[in-house]
Amino acid sequence: MMRHLAVAAIVLVVAAGCGSSGHPETFNEQSTDLSAEEQARYGISDASIPVELRNWMEGCVAGAGDPPSVSNPARSCRCSFDKIVTFLLDFSAGATEEERQRIAFESFADLDDAAEDADPFQTQVREIIENCNA
């Protein structure tokens, strides 16, 4: 069941995670406001967050099912988003900070295209999600 959530999270939320107006190149270029209800549902104290994080949380928490397939979907989803972004930033460690941010963002946006691939990159992303669900 956790593997199902990992695959569902990649397929469902990555496409939505980058679906915003404009053409951002980094995670912090566009932000969105959360209602008090959304802050509570997603376990996020900030009222304004990056659009990609909001979309990830929406899709991931919904993808956990009703009843959820993990004990704390909001915690698992936030964990996976943060660790995937960190992994992508680390992957481009030799670049300048601006290039790292751009490369990580582009790689995150490309996750939906690669979700069906069996390459090591997708394996690592699935492992991150599964570890956050544990």
> Residue 123: which residues within 8 A CB-CB, separation 6 or more?
none
- pLDDT, residue 53, reads 93
- pLDDT, residue 111, reads 79
Q: Where are the domains of the chain?
A: 2-133
**pTM attached to this predicted model:** 0.78
Prior bond of 67 cis (ω within 30°): yes
Instruction: Write the pLDDT tens digit of every residue in 27-48.
Output: 888 899 999 999 999 999 999 9
- pLDDT, residue 56, reads 92
Listed as ranges, residues in the chain with pLDDT below 70 are: 1-22, 112-120
**pLDDT above 90 as % of the chain:** 45
Separation in Å, CA 128 to CA 20, 32, 42, 53, 134: 25, 25, 19, 16, 10
DSSP assignment letter at 35: -
Q: Is 48 helix (H, G, I), strand (E, B) or coil?
A: strand
- pLDDT, residue 48, reads 92
Give strand ranges (E) for 3-104: 31-33, 48-50
- pLDDT, residue 112, reads 65
Copy the structure tokens of residue 99.
């290039």
